[in-house]
Amino acid sequence: MGQPAIKLPLAPPERGEAFRAFADAMPVGLQWVDDEGVCLERNHLAEELFASPAAPMLEAAVTALLGEAKARVSCVQTSVEVSASERVLISIAPDRGEHGWIVSFDRKRLERAKAEAGVLRAVIRAMASSGSKREAISRAIEVVRDQLPLSRIVCFELAGNDLRCEGSAGLRPEEREIVIPLGRKDCLMNVAWGQRRQVHLPELGRSTLKLPFECEDSASVLVFPTGARTQRGLLCVVAPPASLNEGSIRIIQGLADAIGAVTDVSVIEASAARAMEVATQRDRLATIGQLVAGVAHEINNPLAFLKSNLHSLKSDIAELRESKVALPSSAGELEEIVSESIEGVSRIETIVQALKGTARRRDEKVRFDCSRAIQEAITIFRGAKKSECEIVAAIPLLPEVIGSPSALGQVILNLMQNALDAMSARDRKERKIEVRGCVEEERLRITVRDHGTGIPVDVQKRMWDAFYTTKDVGKGTGLGLSICKEIVEEMGGWIEFETGPDGTAFHLLLPEAGD
């Protein structure tokens, strides 16, 4: 358009060679065509274009443009988008040396596509640097709204039977707590949720569907589902119609995809956390269940002689009442019977209190007596396993710590059970478990030591992994050490071990509660 016609430097018969020599040196694709549009020569850049999937599109554009150029007898131009990120500027000029035409193809990256890619990269950076799902969504929405300053962008997420606002930009404060019941048939969100696909209203005022927040009737609305695995929410964008062009729609689609990815990850993490919690509780119940039989036997012993003594006491009291004579020897026997009964009751009370302590909630965070929690665990284990090993406990009065007493008791029980398992190949007289405690530089050190054969090197590499176990099928969940490590770290401490052919010692290092 207004450009001069191209004059080739040489005339026939060397014209074809001259065209190639001239055209191959140019930074654009060049093609020489006759009046009918038949290609006479092309340079290598034009050949690349016509070898691509865009060839039919380019040929059609050249044919149409050639007709216009003939009518105007001048240079004409047009542009063709050959992909989402590239367009080709096509120019046709008459060749004054012969009856023919020179066609140039200038491949240009769309600046808009570059901008779109930049926005989506910014969305990903915003999400990656956020500490929570809600923060990630909100920051990503703000990035996109910078490109659509007059828009309103709202992300809804499924919560029970409602859609709740999870992040937004452009809404008033009172609109940010939107809750949409899924049963509302006049709401655009519910229609989009049911269709599970993109919904576009070019002009909101012409639709009977409503939005849960105020906006202009002339506004255009786009709603995208979020969540790749399962639909978990919706992304709603309200903007002036002129701003929702092809490029901005691609950006909004990219935002919806990114939000869906974050939502999918959150759902997977939540499911994994629930599964881990269930597995942890099962492991805990399994550990306690293994001890119940022994503890029941330990309780039955004092109950048996307590019951017998109380029956004897009842008979003696009846005889004394009948005789109405106080016998010194009978009085002495009664005192002994009562003392034994009280001792039996005390033993039962100690065991029951230990069981109650172990059954407390693990997720509680309180300041508690560390020594008592350890002693309760030892009491339970000794009651169940004292016939299988010797238990040596040296637990002085230790400072208080913060966490869950039942969780710490579970750690001690797990480590003692592992210690007993490690000595299964040894003779009963050689099985000894030591539990000791002390204070080192404002932290507590609790040690559970066995006299087994040590932990093999290949097992050491994986023993902290969840569900890894060396026990036979049905005899272990593989969660014991994993749970122990998690509990100790939740209390602000860590767990370490030393092992060798003479046995293994696990050390729990916990911070003092302080003032």
pLDDT of 236-249, one tens digit each? 899 888 777 777 78
**How far is Cα 298 from Cα 165, in angstroms, rounded to an integer?**
57
| β-pairing verdict for 29-33 and 39-42 | antiparallel
Highest mean pLDDT among 56-60, 202-206, 273-277: 56-60
pLDDT at position 80: 84
Confidence of residue 11 (pLDDT cuts 50, 70, 90): very low
Please work out, in degrees rounded to the nearest 5, the angle formed at the alpha carbon of residue 205 by the alpha carbons of 200 and 208.
80
pTM over 0.75: no
What distance in Å separates the CA atoms of residue 317 and residue 122, rounded to the nearest whole number? 89
* pLDDT above 80 for 490: yes
On whether the CB atoms of residues 475 and 466 are closer than 8 A, the answer is no
β-strands 179-181, 162-169 pairing = antiparallel
pLDDT per residue as tens digits for the range 96-144: 656 688 888 887 655 556 666 667 677 777 766 777 778 888 888 888 8
Q: Which helix (H) or strand (E) holds 11?
A: none
Please report which helix (H) or strand (E) contains residue 462, including its range: none
Structure tokens belonging to residue 508:
């729990």
- Mean pLDDT, the chain, as a whole number? 76
Whether 66 contacts 53, CB under 8 Å: no
Burial class (CB in 10 A: 0-12, 13-18, 19+), 72: exposed
464 pLDDT above the threshold of 60: yes
Task: Please report how many Cα atoms fall inside a 13 Å half-sphere around the Cα of residue 23, on the Cβ side.
Answer: 25
What mean pLDDT do residues 178-203 have?
Answer: 81
Tracing tokens 């150029």 back to the chain, one arrives at 69
The first and second tokens of residue 115, run together, are 């901008």
Instruction: Report the 10 Å Cβ neighbour count for 297.
Output: 13
What would the mean pLDDT of 150-178 be, rounded to a whole number? 85
pLDDT of residue 1: 39
Do strands 432-440 and 390-394 pair parallel, antiparallel, or not at all (unpaired)? Answer: parallel
Q: What local confidence, expressed as pLDDT, does residue 297 receive?
A: 57
pLDDT interval class at 265 (50, 70, 90): low
Cα end-to-end distance, the chain, whole Å: 85
Q: Which residue has the tokens 């939740």?
A: 490
Q: How far apart are CA 500 and CA 353, in angstroms?
A: 36
Structure tokens at 486: 């998690």
**Three-state DSSP class for residue 420:** helix
User: The tokens 């570059």 sit on which residue?
Assistant: 114
Of residues 281 and 258, more confidence is placed in 258
Domains and CATH numbers, the chain: 15-109 (3.30.450.20), 113-271 (3.30.450.40), 360-515 (3.30.565.10)
pLDDT at 340 over 50: yes
Query: What would the two tokens of residue 129 be?
Result: 């640097």
Q: Is residue 195 classed exposed, middle or buried when 0-12, 13-18 and 19+ CB atoms within 10 A define those classes?
A: exposed
pLDDT in tens, 31-49: 888 888 888 888 888 888 8
* pLDDT cut 70: percent of the chain above it: 68
Where does the pLDDT of residue 380 fall: very low under 50, low under 70, confident under 90, or very high at 90 and above? confident
Per-residue pLDDT at 388 exceeds 50: yes
What band does 19 get if pLDDT is binned at 50, 70 and 90?
A: low
Q: Would you place residue 5 in the very low, low, confident or very high pLDDT band (cuts 50, 70, 90)? A: very low
